[in-house]
Amino acid sequence: MKFAHIADLHIGKRVHDFSMLEDQRYILDQMLGIFEEQRVDGILIAGDVYDKVVPSAEAVQLFDEFITRLAKLKMPVYMISGNHDSAERLSFGAKLFESSDIYISQVYDGKVKKVGLEDEYGLVNVYLLPFLKPATVRHVLQRDDIESYEDSVTVALQECEVDASQRNVLVAHQFVTGADRCDSEETSVGGLDNVSAEVFDEFDYVALGHIHRPQKMGKETLRYSGTPLKYSFSEVEHKKSVTIVELLEKGNVQISTVPLVPLRDMRKVRGTYMEVTAKESYTAENKMDYLQITLTDEEDVPGALQKLRTIYPNLMRLEYDNKRTRENREVQAVEAQEQKSELELFGEFYELLNNEPMKEEQTEFMERLIQNLKEVQA
């Protein structure tokens, strides 16, 4: 059984007020070609189909075209809602879509949707777990002991009663502890949305969404596919791809990636105004890329943004790096540090040393310790 794993399409997204719809249409067409070339048996879409809870009409139309083409190619789809999606809107018509082999996670009601498949090696169960928050699971199951995101996912998966003798695939949209984040993702303060990798141990493959950099989480079979496009300048070095997963006999999972080539790349350019406007600095192709230009001139160039856009029409962001801006950053950094509490500063230090935030119990202990020290000093 061969699947293509994709996620975080964010259809309808705008980056620095530039619409990405044309780029998204181009990359969706490219992905369809990859699915056909790879002869996949199904598509796993791990959430954040849209960029907004209420997507634009153009975004809905584009995704409708994509799903319709998949249905015409007779490629089954297994899709969940992410934190950017409305679970209710995304699952509208879900039962009707199943006649075309398009399976969508339902609004969480205490049960996780399961789709059973079969090939020459036996059964494959695909579980569709939408993005979960503790409050949602607590309310649905009427349980007061669900306090964290990890509690929520753990309890929801326990309800699945997974048969470990069969091959099991999970499509989920959560932040697994240790994942490498970037600027275009929504984050929770203090890492409260963390879920440990061990929660997913019962599954032969876990198709994750939520994190924009493609990466494995400890083992090859627990993976983020990443976004198909770069959505922030912190992603400039990312290599975007489609993840191909083939489940053979139980315990044998083959994973590969197929690179994606965007219509327009996202790049950073640095230099003086004269350097970045010199003809040898750009070609007919790369001047159409999405750019962040950092000018190193000591004096600001009047009207630089408008002037540069006559050469680089997709210039998204203009910055300066000179004595004035460096001094401003130093002042802001000092002011920001002065405004932080002792607990926040220690928390940052702990995370720097351990590559993970403090747990709730550790935070409470440090809070009491700091308070006791203050009382002793008083």
Confidence of residue 285 (pLDDT cuts 50, 70, 90): confident
Which has the closest alpha carbon to 202: 154, 151, 138, 134?
Answer: 154
Using the predicted structure, report yes or no on whether residue 355 has a pLDDT greater than 70. no
The tokens for 194 are 């963390």
The pLDDT of 4-12, averaged and rounded, is: 97
Higher confidence at residue 100 or residue 281? 100
pLDDT of residue 337: 57
Share the mean pLDDT of the chain: 90
- Judge whether residue 335 has pLDDT over 70: no
Helix (H, G, I), strand (E, B) or coil at 335: helix
Question: In which element (H, E) is residue 134 found?
Answer: helix 134-141
User: Over 70: is that where the pLDDT of 10 sits?
Assistant: yes
The set of residues, in sequence order, having a beta carbon less than 8 Å from that of 36 and lying 6+ positions away, is: 73
* pLDDT score recorded for residue 190: 47
**Cα radius of gyration (the chain):** 24
Answer yes or no: is pLDDT of 60 > 60: yes
- Distance from CA of residue 119 to its chain's centroid? 31
- Per-residue confidence band for 356, with pLDDT thresholds at 50, 70 and 90: low
Per-residue pLDDT, 293: 96
Residue 346: the pLDDT is 83
Q: Which of 188, 66, 184 is nearest to 131 (CA)?
A: 188
Of 147, 150, 169, the closest CA to residue 160 belongs to: 169
- pLDDT, one tens digit per residue, over 183-205 is 665 655 445 688 999 999 999 99
Question: What local confidence, expressed as pLDDT, does residue 189 receive?
Answer: 43
The CA dihedral of 149, 153, 159, 163, to the nearest 10 degrees, is -160
User: What pLDDT was estimated at residue 343?
Assistant: 83
Predicted pLDDT of residue 192:
67
Quote the tokens at residue 175. 């932040």
Nearest-angstrom CA–CA distance, 117 and 110: 23
Contact in structure between 195 and 179 (CB atoms under 8 Å): no
b/e map 235-250, b = 16+ CB within 10 Å: beebebbbbbbbbeeb
Q: Strand pairing partners for 175?
A: 194
Confidence of residue 261 (pLDDT cuts 50, 70, 90): very high
Residue-wise pLDDT tens digits, 149-190: 999 999 999 989 899 999 999 999 999 988 776 666 565 544
pLDDT above 90: percentage of residues in the chain: 74
